[in-house]
Amino acid sequence: MRKLLLPLALMVTVATAGEQFAMSDADRAMYTEMLENNPADIFVEEGGELLEETLGGEEALAKFLGVSEKELPKYIAGFPRYIKKMGNVVGIDQVLQAMQTEQGKERYKLKNAKMFSMLAYVKSLANEEQFTINIKADEHIKASYDLGEKTFKTARGGRGLSCLSCHSADIIGMVLRTQPLPDLGKVGAGATWPAYRMTKSSLRTLQRRFQGCMKNALLKVIPIGSKEMVGLEVYISTLAQKEKQPIAIPGLKR
């Protein structure tokens, strides 16, 4: 019974919170300025330099993926996707790790700031493209999508919360911890990460954001790059795809 009461208390708090607390005037002014001069642009540029200097740039990436450089933007828009030589549905960052291993280079951890920068750069190559994730393409991507949806909707922890607790249709628009709860598809969440987080003063990835939400909800944090995390990214990205939200990297988040 306790697990049901806590989410209910959370919903009441959310429902009675005032929209006026969502962002201060100072934060709003800073946000507007950063839209024109996103601090994350420098990280994206750094990521491009790292890709070129350590792995051979876009030519090497295209070769590893088995596509032409011309096809690369649309192909990137299909991530996370099943890569046969890796035997899994993977994110772009995991592809970069595999390239590092193949070339005998230093293998960045998935939470490494340099990896965040390279991931942001590679994903930015697909800017203005629509996601091209086809969850019916093969059994692997279908299973990843299903796992992501299950992870999104399954209640966990002592509070009995899930991602859906804050992002279901009847909760969207209410305010929690000073922020309006968004429709993840309509705001293109999957299409706008990696992004610069004003509250963290750093570049963050979608899976890193998932971890932040889990931590705030007192849930056991799922590791970046795990099947559950990749599945969540697949699921959230398809929500943006359904709403025809174009990829726009780097994003800017409060």
Task: Write down how long the chain is.
Answer: 254
**pLDDT, tens only, 175-207:** 776 677 889 999 999 999 999 998 889 999 999
Alpha helices for 84-226 (secondary structure H): 92-102, 113-124, 139-153, 164-167, 206-216
**Tokens describing residue 117:** 């920068």
Q: How sure is the predictor about 33, in pLDDT bands with cuts at 50, 70 and 90?
A: low
Asked whether 115 and 94 are in contact (CB, 8 A), the reply is no
Q: For the domain that residue 181 is a member of, what is the CATH number?
A: 1.10.760.10
Question: Under a CB-based contact definition with an 8 Å cutoff, are residues 194 and 205 in contact?
Answer: yes
- Cβ count near 177 (within 10 Å): 12
User: Is the pLDDT confidence value at 37 over 80?
Assistant: no
Q: What angle do CA 229, 231, 235 make, to 5 degrees?
A: 115
Would you state the pLDDT for residue 26? 59
Residue 246 · residue 188 · CB < 8 Å: yes
136-141 contacts, C-beta under 8 A, 24 or more apart: 137/81, 137/82, 138/82, 140/82, 140/88, 140/89, 141/81, 141/82, 141/89, 141/234
Span 102-120, average pLDDT: 98
- What is the three-class DSSP state of 233? helix
pLDDT surpasses 70 at 249 = yes
Question: Cα–Cα distance between 136 and 116 in angstroms, integer?
Answer: 29
User: Residues with Cβ < 8 Å from 59, sequence gap 6 or more?
Assistant: 69
- Considering the entire predicted model, what is its pTM? 0.86
Asked if 156 and 162 touch (Cβ cutoff 8 Å), the reply is: yes
* pLDDT tier, 1 (very low <50, low <70, confident <90, very high otherwise): very low
User: For residue range 139-157, what is the model confidence (pLDDT) as tens digits?
Assistant: 999 999 999 999 999 999 9
Q: What is the pLDDT of residue 27?
A: 59
**According to the model, what pLDDT value does residue 6 have?**
34
Q: What is the mean pLDDT of the chain?
A: 88
- Percentage with pLDDT > 70 across the chain: 85
Determine the pLDDT at residue 18.
40
Residues 61-90, mean pLDDT to the nearest whole number: 98
Percent of the chain whose predicted confidence (pLDDT) is above 90: 74
- DSSP string of 175-216, one letter each residue: EETTEEPP-TTTTTGGGS-SEEETTTTEEE-HHHHHHHHHHH
Domain limits for position 179: 2-253
Total number of domains in the chain: 1
Average pLDDT over residues 101-119: 98
Average pLDDT, integer, range 68-90: 98
The answer to whether the beta carbons of residues 238 and 84 sit under 8 Å apart is no
Output the pLDDT for position 78: 98
